[in-house]
Amino acid sequence: MRTEPILQIKDLSVSLTSGGNERTILDQLSLKIFPNEVMGIVGESGSGKTMTALATMGLLPKTIKVTGGHIWYEGRDLLQLSGKDMRSVRGSKIAMIFQNPRMALNPLMRVGDQIARAVRLHQDLPKAEYYPMAVSLMKQVGIADAEGRAKAYPHQLSGGMAQRVLVAIMLACQPKVLIADEPTTGLDVTIQAQIFELIKEIQVQTGVAVLLITHDLGVVSEVCDRVGVMYAGQVMEIARVAEIFNDPGHPYTKRLLKSILRVDQISDLDTSQALSPISAAFDVLGCRFASQCLDACPECLLQRPQIPDDDCEHMVFCYKYYPKK
Amino acid sequence: MITKNGKKSEKWIDKFKFFKIIRRSLRFPLFLLGIVVILFYLVIVAFGPSMTPHNPEIPNSKYTLGAPTNENLFGTDKFGRDILTRVIYASRLDMLIALTVATISFILGSLIGGIVGYYGGWLDKVVMRVVDVMFAFPSFILAMAITSALGDTVQNVVIAIATAYTPYFVRLTRGEMLTIRKLQYADAAISVGNPGWRVALVHLLPNALAPSLVQMTLVSGWAILDAAGLAFLGLGITPPTAEWGVMVSEGAARIITGEWWVWLYPGLAIVLAAFAFNLVGDGLRDIMAREEQ
């Protein structure tokens, strides 16, 4: 029915061990990203969005271990790759842009040189072309006075400018998949819109598949093609953006959508339904939202529903959803 | 400062910043004093030997143990050699020792510390235990042991003192590296596809060097004290080489007999040099602490 996914995460479990306690921070997470699409992941803080990105890049901190699952890319399981093979994937196949763009740049190196280094790593160009290529990439991501800005150090750039530089570095890598981890944290609203526009533009131009991690549902509705909703390390629902907004299946998604204030609707925020902190949810065997869920059944606490793998148009991990269909 | 041409005004701002740095360092008068004294020594190192008519090592039997005169401003020693000339030539040797020791231990220590701090694991544990053992010895005693094992040459003195101070830089750089490798630009450098060694040495290590640079000035001062101390004890640099420690040791026998100029001037040279390096080191630390605020 559809093309093969370019990146497929299957039953990925990741856990944090500290002082003898083990906490599963990603619980059997499955995701597919298809070529030429923008896939969004939304969820509140601590729901494991960033961990998903880091696990894919092989950048998990030492205290956090992958305990099961696969991350397939071009028929290879990234979790089984050696350090050297993983290096050939990073950048050239899967690149990442980070939250807090200024923190993601080397403070002692001029930004032009940093882009030029990425060009050197990933493009087959003569040595003299590295720097001019870097400058032209800076122009491409919409930096005015690219020649001058290339000589600036990261602390001399504004946050939005720094994020554009990161996008330029990503462009220099020419990846097939781009992971954007909350790329606009700490930027003001107008700059946020510009950055998302830039990412969308580059996606259309280069055909790169984008995994966009955010907690902003408004952004999701504008930029993404499909979206996965996460809660406490579990995927609750995956669907096309229009379906998520018009016909949410999972109780958590419904509650999440209720929390948005919309200009075109008179909403009455029901604070009695406010969720308790996410950290309380990690010890449940089954659906981690069950203890907060108004429709939960005893089964919910013990086991999550098994969903056939090929049903990727609209997946809802909830018992309540399936009898209806 | 305001010009119509945007680029020109930017350059003006840069110049303005340069003045700002100078003006800020004026708030640290002791730091400036240290810098001035070190510059004074460097001038002597560069031009001193060509300005003195005497030879530092050829004896002169006509005027031995002579008090300061217009001809011999600092007097002469028991072989009739001009003490001013010997102090000048000695400053060349001692400054050379100070700077090479500081440079060698800085390069070696921060490389080891950077690599060990980045990779961690068993390598880190082994190296840090070795460093702990070296710290257990006072660095002067360690330098003494190494010099007497290697033999008395200038080169061996440098090796010995540099070895004794390398652990300081290992510890400092490793500590910085442990925090820096967790920062986001470390992850970003890896995620672009850089191999580990390049992330560690090209992207992270330069960011971990600031405290070591302060340490480097302090170690320069300590190295002068150690080299002179070793020579005073008869280790490392030996007579007739013109060296401050050698000269103080020759003068020490004259303290009771009243020829004060033989030991006073080389001693003052040691004190002043060590003092200046310490002032600069402390000043740099203060300036950097204020920058961070």
The reply to whether A185 and A145 lie within a common domain is no
B109 falls in which pLDDT band (50, 70, 90)? very high
Evaluate whether residue B63 is within a structural domain.
Answer: no
Domain membership of residue B287 as a residue range = 27-51+80-292
pLDDT of residue A269 exceeding 70 = no
Is A298 a member of any domain?
yes
Count of structural domains within chain B: 1
Separation in Å, CA A261 to CA A210, A213, A217, A264, B150: 27, 21, 11, 9, 78
Q: Which residues of A106-121 are buried (b: 16+ CB within 10 A; e: fewer)?
A: beebbbbebbbbbbbb
In a domain, A229, yes or no: yes
Q: What is the CATH number of the domain that holds B238?
A: 1.10.3720.10
| pTM given for the model | 0.81
Q: Are B111 and B105 in contact (CB under 8 A)?
A: no
- State how far the alpha carbon of B249 is from the alpha carbons of A7, B155, B158, B232, B240, in Å: 75, 21, 20, 5, 12
Give pLDDT tens digits for B125-184: 999 999 999 989 888 888 989 998 988 888 899 999 999 999 999 999 999 999 998 888
Q: Which of A140, A174, A208 is the last residue of a domain?
A: A174
The partner residue sitting opposite A118, judged by closest CB among B10, B187, B192, is B192
Same domain for A183 and A304, yes or no, is: yes
Q: Which uninterrupted H or E stretch holds A96?
A: strand A94-97
Whether residues A231 and A209 share a domain: the answer is: yes
**pLDDT tier at B99 (50, 70, 90 boundaries)?**
very high
Q: Does the residue A183 lie in any domain?
A: yes
What pLDDT sits at residue B4? Answer: 47
Torsion angles phi and psi, residue B116, rounded to 5: -65, -40
* B211-260 per-position pLDDT tens digit: 898 899 999 999 999 999 998 888 888 788 888 888 888 888 888 888 88
Q: Is residue B17 part of a domain?
A: no
- Mark whether A66 and A143 lie in a shared domain: no
Q: Which residue has the higher pLDDT, B16 or B99?
A: B99
| Predicted confidence (pLDDT) at residue B102 exceeds the cutoff of 60 | yes
Amino acid at A30: S
From the list A91, A103, A109, the residue facing B192 with the nearest CB is: A91
Distance CA B210, CA B62 (A): 54
Q: CA-to-CA distance for B243 and B251, rounded, in angstroms?
A: 12
Q: Is B184 on the interface with A (CB under 8 A)?
A: yes
Mutate to test the interface with A, among B179, B192, B201, B202 (most CBs of A within 10 A): B192
Please check whether residue A67 lies inside any domain of the structure.
yes
Q: Is A71 helix (H, G, I), strand (E, B) or coil?
A: strand
Comparing A200 with B62, the larger pLDDT belongs to A200
Is A113 a member of any domain?
yes
Residue A321 lies in a domain: no
B121 interfaces chain A, CB cutoff of 8 Å: no
Residue A140: give the domain boundaries: 102-174
Residues A167 and A258 in one domain: no
What number is the ipTM of this complex? 0.82
Q: B203 at the A interface (CB within 8 A)?
A: yes
Tell me whether strands A76-77 and A94-97 are parallel, antiparallel or unpaired: unpaired
pLDDT in tens, B179-203: 998 888 888 888 888 888 888 888 8
Contacts of A73 (CB under 8 A, 6+ apart): A6, A7, A8, A89, A93, A94, A177
Q: Is residue B1 part of a domain?
A: no
Q: Is residue A236 part of a domain?
A: yes
Q: Domain for residue A324, yes or no?
A: no
Number of domains in chain A: 2
Looking at chain A, list the stretches that DSSP marks H as alpha helix, in order from N- to C-terminal side.
49-57, 83-89, 111-122, 130-140, 146-149, 159-173, 189-206, 217-223, 241-246, 251-258, 298-302
Domain assignment present for residue B57? The answer is: no
Domain boundary among A174, A207, A226: A174
Residues of A in contact with B213 (CB under 8 A): none
Give the integer Cα–Cα distance in Å for A95 and B193. Answer: 9
- pLDDT at residue B112 greater than cutoff 90: yes
Are residues A192 and A162 part of one domain? no
| Average pLDDT value for residue range B1-17 | 52
